[in-house]
Structure formats: C-alpha cells, structure tokens
Chain A
Amino acid sequence: DTGVSQDPRHKITKRGQNVTFRCDPISEHNRLYWYRQTLGQGPEFLTYFQNEAQLEKSRLLSDRFSAERPKGSFSTLEIQRTEQGDSAMYLCASRRESSYNEQFFGPGTRLTVL
C-alpha cells in the first residue's frame, strides 16, 4: 500500500492531556498538509510543509498546536493541554510538486477529548 497513512486511527484522551499524531505521506510527495474536520463540515486547513519547511499555518492553529516534518518525510501534529473543542477528525494529505494541487488524503485520526 503506497497511500498516505496516519497513526493512530482513533485517540480518546482526557482534557488537559497532550496527544501526538503521525502522518506518513506518499513517498515521492514533497508537499504535506494537515486539515481538521468536524461533523457536518468539510476539512479546514491547518498547516502546510514543503519538504521539511513549515510554510503556512492557519489562524485555527493555536499556540497549543505544533507540527513538524523533521526530515521532509513523515510529519507529526501535537496538541498540548487538549480541550473538548479539539475533538475532531485530523486529516493529513500529500501531493507532488508538479500537479494541479491533487492532494491525496490519509484515513485520518479521530480525536475525542473527554
């Protein structure tokens, strides 16, 4: 399987705890995106990496959120001091440099904050 993978698929945590999600993009894709999706809505952009450089962050990404892509391959998204409002599906997508912005999504990580 050469698609985008995400781990874990589901995470249940208590308010105030820290959580970290991982995304492994398609191997030849140098661009990686994180999105968040809540019930009844389409995905909303969180942040973007070109290789290892984080080039854009949404205003949705508060100081409690941090993302890395240390070697330009996999990426991690960490949420510190989780709040109930953080409960959502966190989606990762990747694309090639030269494409009509065709982004391929992973299966997502469903976060539930109790």
Chain B
Amino acid sequence: TQLLEQSPQFLSIQEGENLTVYCNSSSVFSSLQWYRQEPGEGPVLLVTVVTGGEVKKLKRLTFQFGDARKDSSLHITAAQPGDTGLYLCAGQPLRGSWGKLQFGAGTQVVVTP
C-alpha cells in the first residue's frame, strides 16, 4: 500500500485542454514535492510546498497543498505536448526520519497535438 495515492493513473488529453492530477494521503506531510519524469531519466523537481493551503504557480502549472497537509493537486492550464511525462508527488511524513521521500505511483500524462 502506497502512502501517497495519485489519481488518475493515466491521462490523455488534446493540446490546449486543462488537466488536474491529485495526490492524497491519510498522513500529514511536513513538505511535499512534485516531480516530472521522462522515460529513461531521473525525476526533475518542479515545486516544493510546505504550508497548509499554499498555492504555487509555475507558468501554466498551479500546485496546491491541502489545508491539513495531507493532499495536493497539480493543475495544468492549456496543456502542450511538452507537458507529456510521468508526474510524481513525493513527501516527507511528519514523523519520517532523515528526509527520505515517500512517492506516489505517478500519473502518466500524454498531451497530443
């Protein structure tokens, strides 16, 4: 059982559409990160959220951390083919040790022209 549940597992949309990816847990996290991973490569850090209710924007990407710091969402506006990739959420549980990250299984996003 994964500590972080991501939904949906797979998302295929047309260029220009919007999409939202969810990351949920029953545990509280001291911080949560979103990564994007391309095939055969390591995850690339997109954002870190720390405060409950925090909203961060990165161009067309909007990240939100739940008030209780148990969940997060990633919203992409006007998706482009370059947004295609595996989106992973990861966090350090409040009672975790040494900063090891717990990852969700990821959401595979495919944006077609």
Contact = CB atoms under 8 A, between A and B. Distances in A.
Interface of A: 4, 6, 31, 33, 35, 40-45, 48, 50, 55-56, 91, 93, 95, 100-108, 110
Decide if the interface of chain B is mainly helix, strand, loop or mixed: loop
B65 to A, nearest CB: 11
Interface stretch (B13-21, B66-74, B75-83, B100-108): B100-108
Contacts, number: 73
Determine chain A's interface SS by DSSP, over half rule: strand
Interface in B2-28: 2, 4
Contacts of B99: 31, 33, 48, 95, 101, 103
B88 A102 contact: no
Contact of B44 (A6, A42, A105): A105
Contact of B104 (A33, A42, A56, A93): A42
A43 B101 contact: yes
